[in-house]
Amino acid sequence: MIVTLTANPSHDRTVSLAGRLERGAVIRSESVISQAGGKGVNISRASVAAGIPSIAVLPAPDDDPFVHELLAAGIDCRPVTTVGDLRVNITISEPDGTTTKLNSPGPTVTPEVLAALTESLQHRAGQADWVVLAGSLPPGAPVSWYAELVAALQDHGARIAVDTSDAPLRALVDGLEHGAPHLMKPNGEELASFTGGDPNTLESDPLAAARAAGTLVDRGVEAVLATLGPHGAVLVTAEGAWHATPPETVVVSTVGAGDSSLFGYLLGDLRAQGPDQRLALAVAYGSAAAGLPGTTIPQPHQVRPELVSVRRLDITPGG
């Protein structure tokens, strides 16, 4: 089972345009898709679609339409009551796959809500294979909260995966000596934020990205899955490093592709697959998601890991 935390859930609205986005112009959209979203929620959606039990933990009023939508979709949603309307995130999608995101901050959480979320995760971790902490933090949460959660969950049975960015990611990295997650999923820009590397180089050079990811493994993280957009992804563990090249994909929307990649890796792990197969499944899920509109999560029959090419990397000095 996979338990997910979406600390700052959102109503995701994707506006698809017929042409390029032009500032200051009046533009007619082709379609608008609205979905209950957030990184953890997306992973729970993918999990349920693949037949893997999942529980989605999140702060929300019990009667919020967000909660009802997830329950109607067959997702076991366990909201922790909070006050305030959930945020609305808007994605503007252009025909060439370019996406522009407008993310609102979300309601402020109290220390009591954070404590209740922590307790909810601890209560369910004993029956889970993985607990996934994903996305941005809401206003009111300290930037160190994910780092604190990793430490609080370490003795509760499940392995821990974290996918976040900006200040919460830096706080997590700064606190690895006190508690390292089993899996981290940065992208090239996020790798650069704490290694000091060039984001464009890390995004386009798998060997450079793998070496940067290796610094996290050296500090106690079991596995680092670094997604590199059109350049695929790299996986680094104590056993070695691998790079996967995605199949040719007509990109419709990249929103949710990273979440799908993370789920693909977890699915491969639950199937006891080797690291190269886990990476191939991660990239296959991410590529399938990129070819779908909005934050649509791919169904298993849309995922083609056999089309992903994986090679081993030598990240030793001079390798």
Spatial separation of the C-alpha atoms in residues 257 and 275, rounded to whole Å: 20
Q: Cα dist. 83→64, 108, 109, 110, 306 in Å?
A: 11, 8, 8, 9, 46
Residue count (the chain) = 319
CB 7 within 8 A of CB 131: no
Spatial separation of the C-alpha atoms in residues 271 and 45, rounded to whole Å: 18
> Of 102, 65, 97, 317, which Cα lies nearest the Cα of 207?
317
Spatial separation of the C-alpha atoms in residues 29 and 31, rounded to whole Å: 6
Amino acid making up residue 83: V
CB 297 within 8 A of CB 311: no
Number of helices (H) and strands (E) in the chain: give both, helices first.
Answer: 10, 14
**DSSP symbols for 31-68:** EEEEEEE-HHHHHHHHHHHTT--EEEEEE--TT-HHHH
The two three-digit tokens of residue 271, written as one number? 């199937």
Catalytic residue among 64, 205, 259, 276: 259
Does residue 12 have an active-site annotation?
Answer: no
Catalytic residues: 259
